[in-house]
Amino acid sequence: MKPTNFAGYHIRKWHSFVEETLANESGQLADGEALFKYAIAAVIHNPFAGQFSENLDALVEPSPLLGEEFGRRIRELAGERAVVSYGKACLVGSQGEYEHGNAFLTNPAADPVRVALGGGKSWVPSTGKRGGPGATIDVPLAHKDALYVRSHYDTISLSFGDGPAPDEVIIIWAFATRGRLRARLGGLAAADIQGDNGLV
């Protein structure tokens, strides 16, 4: 067993990414502020690699502390910019199960991230897969307060040069400061969000 260094986890590495988009794919300048996308990822040893366990509490129970750290890091990375979209993902090494990655991403881990963003009423879009170093994963994004805001459906593509190792999981949270540039497909506008369940 590898020594723990954060809330009972062994974290080998943290990654932070910033992407700033000033014009869309056809060259049209931003309709307003530039789009900033952020991603934060933790490379974590998977103690269940190579074995089956019915109980994954060892991954789930400390996850609120991990969520707090992701929340702290996004506030530091975004600075004064408001974050309005979020998403999450896991990339699981070859000796692990997809379920192992999902164990880090349940509501106990997500709620502290919502707090760091000043709230978030909609569920967090999520994805994941098994892969090795260099694998690409597309992390989905959606509006944090209303899932049906079509202009904010987006993704950020990430790749990690030296992970995950077979006995590791990479846990990823992604964020954005606005919807897609020049979004023009209609639907609920962010300015018109009402209700309290994140679905309107």
What's the 3-state SS for 108-171?
Answer: HHHHHHHHHCCCCCCCCCEEEEECCCCCEEEEEEEECCCCCCHHHCEEEEEECCCCCCCCEEEE
pLDDT in tens, 73-115: 999 999 999 999 999 999 999 999 999 999 999 999 999 999 9
Question: Domain 11-176: which topology?
Answer: 60s Ribosomal Protein L30; Chain: A; (3.30.1330)
pLDDT in tens, 156-192: 999 999 999 999 999 999 999 999 999 998 887 777 6
H or E element, residue 63:
helix 63-78
pLDDT in tens, 8-60: 999 999 999 999 999 999 999 999 999 999 999 999 999 999 999 999 999 99
pLDDT of residue 1: 77
Peptide bond between residue 164 and the one before it cis (omega within 30 degrees of 0): yes
Q: What is the mean pLDDT of residues 111-126?
A: 95
- Report the candidate in 40, 17, 27, 31 with the shortest Cα–Cα distance to residue 151: 31
